[in-house]
Structure 1
Amino acid sequence: MSQIVSVHSFRGGTGKSNLTANIGATIALQGQRVGIVDTDIQSPGIHVLFGLDEEKMTHSLNDYLWGRCSIKDTAYDVSHVLKRENETSVVNDRLYLVPSSIKASEISRILREGYDVGRLNDGFEDIIRSLNLDYLLIDTHPGLNEETLLSIAISDVLVIILRPDRQDFQGTAVTVELAKKLEVSNMLLVVNKVLPAFDFDSLRLQMETTYNTPVAGILALSEDVVQLASSDIFCLRYSDHPFSHTVKEITQQILRQN
């Protein structure tokens, strides 16, 4: 049974896309077939982490939403990134990415005209079926709009990312309350970009008490992650780094929700 995992944050700048890419790659290394869809159409960018050149992307999610192609035509096999970590990966180890267009004309059209959210939902179902996916990860647009509400509502697992920041705390409270009203059964929090001097145990207790939701992991603000500057999948390049170990722990909790 395929699982849909939405990765969401109320505000931008939380490291949502970076974490989505790292979680997706980590799940794929478990022998799973994984797809990632970049639905942050207004400010796309996750393709950069996989080394996809936007000038060479023949189709994007935008093309599907405007009826120019099938959703399968927008999926790029990026499984090559897994080879560095696992040279003997089996046939089932597959990782696909559906990027959104970085072209200004495409972004402005979305902002001006919107799009059929129902067609997006159909696309999720079609891509799972056509690529025989075990997991579909949705990299959502920050905040709350019609698209994010859909992604949250259809999620088997909702991962909410926040920073230790008062604005993030308030926005996350709204998101958690909404997700509970939408009867999302499995919800996990990830606190990112936490200064190493913080007491992580106290922060975890504070978050779980405040939101009545389990914290899957707390990621320290890492100079190494900053220096990589989204040029690669961090967990694949630095598999023994503390950041990577925490991502693996988060991934295991996501897999246990199945």
Structure 2
Amino acid sequence: MAQIIAVHSFRGGTGKSNLIANIGANIALQGQRVGIVDTDIQSPGIHVIFGMNENKIKRTLNDYLWGYCNIKDAAYDVTDVLIAEQGNTDTIKGSLFLIPCSIKTGEIARILREGYDVVRLNDGFQELISSLKLDYLLIDTHPGLNEETLLSIGISNILVILLRPDHQDFQGTAVTVDVARKLKVSKMLLVINKVLPNLNFTDLQQQVEKIYNAPVAGILPLSSEMVQLASHGIFCLRYPQHPISQTIKGITNQIAGLVISR
């Protein structure tokens, strides 16, 4: 049975899309079939990380939600991006698919104006898992809490919450954790991003785990290499030995471990 992993942050700008792209790539490298759905319909962007030309994206999640196509028609095989980043086809054992959102202003405005059927979105998740024979479905959620976010959190096997060492993030994350517990999420992991390297990571981890009574799967330092990459590629494949890459690999292994332990 496929595992559904929702990656969420209460506020925007935490690095959520980069984290989910790198986790997805790591899982695919382990030989799994992975799908990533960009449900951040109001501010889509994960397609940029995979180098997808917006003019060549024929179908998107928006088209599916409006009944213009089947959701598998909006799924793009981006495994070749991993191959290009790795430079070695022998290391790619799995597959990675991306379902992007529309970046067109008019279509974003229509979603904001008319909304969409959240039940259809849930049906689409199940159709993707079946039609693409996925082992993992990763959901890139919209920041904050709305109907779509509650659905994604509620159906997930594992919820990964990303936050920064920032008081506003701490307060918003408390709301998310509380909602997730009310929705009876099976497993929850916290990831702290953009942490100044001179901070004591051990103390920060203990502080956050005490506040939320939930495990911290990893702490990612603020990195000039990540800033310079500017979402133009998959960090773990560009800098495989970097501390960020090693931490994300550890987070991925923890996710796999939680799946095995179910």
Global fold match (TM > 0.5): yes
Match of residue 200 from structure 1? 201
Normalising to structure 1: TM-score of the pair? 0.98
Give unpaired runs (5+ residues) of structure 2.
none
What is the distance in 2 between the residues matched to 1:250 and 1:146?
27
1:79 Cα offset (Å): 0.1
Percent identity, aligned pairs only, is: 69
Match of residue 50 from structure 2? 50
Match of residue 90 from structure 2? 88
1:82 Cα offset (Å): 2.0
Match of residue 162 from structure 1? 163
Match of residue 60 from structure 1? 60
What is the distance in 2 between the residues matched to 1:121 and 1:215?
28
Give unpaired runs (5+ residues) of structure 1.
none
Where do 1:93-104 residues align within 5 Å? 93-104=94-105
Q: Deviations over 1:159-195 (max 9, x none)?
A: 0000000000000000001100100010000000000
Match of residue 19 from structure 1? 19
1:81 Cα offset (Å): 1.9
Match of residue 242 from structure 1? 243
Match of residue 218 from structure 1? 219
Instruction: Describe the SS at the equivalent of 2:90.
Output: coil
Instruction: Describe the SS at the equivalent of 1:42.
Output: coil
1:89 Cα offset (Å): 4.0
Judge which range, 212-221 or 80-89, deviates more. Answer: 80-89
1:8 equivalent to 2:11? Answer: no
What is the distance in 2 between the residues matched to 1:87 and 1:71?
28
Give the aligned residue type for 2:151.
L
Match of residue 30 from structure 2? 30
Tell me the matched-pair count. Answer: 257
More helix by percentage? 2
1:146 equivalent to 2:159? Answer: no
Q: Runs of 4 or more off by more than 4 Å in structure 1? A: none
Instruction: Describe the SS at the equivalent of 1:88.
Output: helix
What is the distance in 2 between the residues matched to 1:89 and 1:118?
38
What is the distance in 2 between the residues matched to 1:164 and 1:109?
35
1:237 Cα offset (Å): 1.0
1:127 equivalent to 2:133? Answer: no
Give the aligned residue type for 1:164.
P
What is the distance in 2 between the residues matched to 1:251 and 1:229?
22
Give the aligned residue type for 1:56.
K
Alignment RMSD: 0.8
1:113 Cα offset (Å): 0.4
What is the distance in 2 between the residues matched to 1:121 and 1:257?
23
